Amino acid sequence: MKNDTWGRVKQQLLESVGRNNYANWIEPLELKKVDNGVAVFSVPTSFMANWVSRNFSETILIHLKAANAPASRVEFRVEPHQTASAAEAPESKPLSKAAAPASQKPAEPQVQDAPADDLPGAPLDSRFTFDNFVVGKPNELAHAAARRVAEGGPVTFNPLFLYGGVGLGKTHLMHAIAHEIRDRDPSLRVLYLSAEQFMYRFVQALRDRQMIDFKQIFRSVDVLMVDDVQFIAGKDSTQEEFFHTFNALVDQNKQIIISADRAPGEIQGLEDRIKSRLQCGLVVDLHPTDYELRLGVLQTKAESYRAQYPELKFADGVLEFLAHRISTNVRVLEGALMRLFAFASLVGREIDLDLTQECLADILKASERKVTVEEIQRKVSEHYAIRLSDMIGPKRVRSIARPRQVAMYLAKHMTTRSLPEIGRRFGGRDHTTVMHGVKRIEELKGTDSQIADDLEMLRRTLEA
Ligand code: ADP
Ligand code: MG
């Protein structure tokens, strides 16, 4: 079977299993071959092999058949993909023989609202509501702006432009606005779609000679939301049409909400007149998540999973560990949690640190902190206005020793370096010196609010 057949089958699977399941379970699969009625896949972990085999084998077989690549069973080989460490090297063994019936569906089925009446919009995810959105420092402004727009009333900023990195909640906030506006006044015509879909509709209208209809529809909405607008950068005629649609709606005082992965001015290949139009309204960004926000999200999600799996228990410290170790992208965080629950319910064990590390080895590895001891030393020296050479040098006066201990503490908590390794990077100090320094800062953190603030500040800048 050709690669592009699997590509097409994956598209079908995306539709049938939903975006979350797809990202967690289907996307990582690699089809090796279909041979003698056996479809052989490589998967990064044995856990994943088990889960996919139990829950998706049948669906995969159905879609393979529909794509003219029939197989009667699927087989999984565990081959750590590039993110896995060399230590887990290529032991490759068939894990699953039979295509087990999909008895138990994984958590979080995708429930979607149909788009309003005749509008060519994308469906809204019913879970993306304001109630389900966890607010923290990094997203409070974006959240407040979204709330304001969702309240309706006079259009005060047009457009609202939300931007930020992947998985930080842009789409979630846009759907939340759409839900809220529709709930408040079902007669309002709210059109939500991605920029990619906008382009697709536009091309289709051109081809079918229905540009008049196209223009009419897009100019008749009360609220237009276009997600991931960076997609139309460099696509000239789509941009042109978007620009006219945009202007027509602004002239009618209709609300427009746009998202992108970066600020308007930074989108390469976007016409200047569009950039400046986009900058006319309110531009707010979603910052990378911080520890507290991640923990908040994890707690909220874990709570909702617990309703589904009342028998599952978390050991203390697991959520904190995840909030610490998994990077800023909330989608990755959610995926990790979902997998943990699935795994724990499969093996019927309490979710403790061991199980977490075993089950999430690949994710943890992939989002390993890139912060280095040297970076920490540099930032801490800057923060306390001391020389980097003093930080690693022999001086023992308090004004230098304290920052040094702060740096040791951060190195211990933000890197995977061992105490002796850290000691070596601090001018060849002994590991007991490092241990003492870390301990000292741990004590001070509780009693000295200045130190606590410094640590927080430094951690934030280093994580950013
Ligand atoms: P983006 O569009 O910015 O790439 P999404 O809006 O698709 O990100 O968010 C990715 C996932 O993370 C979604 O499942 C979303 O519900 C979740 N998510 C993001 N931010 C939050 C938050 N603050 N509270 C709860 N869930 C969040
Ligand atoms: Mg998005």
Give the closest residue (by CA) to ligand 1 atom 21.
Answer: 169
| 175 alpha carbon, closest ligand | 1
| 19 alpha carbon, closest ligand | 1
CA 445 to ligand 1 center in whole angstroms? 32
423, pLDDT greater than 70: yes
The number of the ligand 1 atom at minimal distance from the alpha carbon of 259 is 2
The number of the ligand 1 atom at minimal distance from the alpha carbon of 127 is 16
Give, for ligand 1, the residue of 331, 332, 337, 338 to mutate: max count of ligand atoms closer than 8 Å to Cβ: 331
Give, for ligand 1, the residue of 168, 297, 330 to mutate: max count of ligand atoms closer than 8 Å to Cβ: 330
Give the closest residue (by CA) to ligand 1 atom 6.
Answer: 169
111, pLDDT greater than 50: no
| 330 alpha carbon, closest ligand | 1
Phi, psi for 251 (deg, rounded to 5): -60, -35
Residues having CB within 6 Å of any atom of ligand 1? 128, 132-134, 139, 164, 166-172, 297, 330-331, 334
CA 73 to ligand 1 center in whole angstroms? 35
Contact between residue 367 and residue 416 where contact means Cβ atoms under 8 Å apart: no
| 132 alpha carbon, closest ligand | 1
429, pLDDT greater than 90: yes
Mean pLDDT within 433-444? 96
The helices-and-strands tally (H runs, E runs) of the chain is: 20, 10
CA 172 to ligand 1 center in whole angstroms? 5
Residues forming beta bridges with residue 256, ordered by sequence position:
224
Q: Report the run of H or E that residue 258 belongs to, with start and end.
A: strand 255-260
Give 192-205 pLDDT, tens digit per residue: 999 999 999 999 99
Give 69-92 pLDDT, tens digit per residue: 889 999 988 886 654 333 333 333
CA 142 to ligand 2 center in whole angstroms? 14
CA 260 to ligand 2 center in whole angstroms? 8
Mean pLDDT within 344-350? 83
Give 217-240 pLDDT, tens digit per residue: 898 899 999 999 999 999 999 999
User: Residues whose CB is under 5 A from ligand 2 (ion)?
Assistant: 170-171
In this structure, of 14-23, 220-229, 296-305, the range with the lowest mean pLDDT score is: 14-23
Contact between residue 388 and residue 427 where contact means Cβ atoms under 8 Å apart: no
Question: Distance between CA 46 and CA 51 in Å, rounded?
Answer: 9
pLDDT of amino acid 87 = 35
| Buried-exposed string 354-382: b where 16+ CB fall within 10 A, e elsewhere | ebbeebbbbbbeebeeebebebbbebbbe
In this prediction the pTM is: 0.62
pLDDT mean across residues, the chain: 86
CA 333 to ligand 1 center in whole angstroms? 10
pLDDT of amino acid 393 = 94
Mean pLDDT within 384-409? 95
| 167 alpha carbon, closest ligand | 1
96, pLDDT greater than 50: no
Which residues lie closer than 8 Å to 275 by C-beta, 6 or more apart?
A: 264, 265, 267
The number of the ligand 1 atom at minimal distance from the alpha carbon of 168 is 3
Contact between residue 42 and residue 32 where contact means Cβ atoms under 8 Å apart: yes
Q: How confident is the model at residue 15 (pLDDT cuts 50, 70, 90)?
A: confident
The number of the ligand 1 atom at minimal distance from the alpha carbon of 143 is 23
Give the closest residue (by CA) to ligand 1 atom 18.
Answer: 169
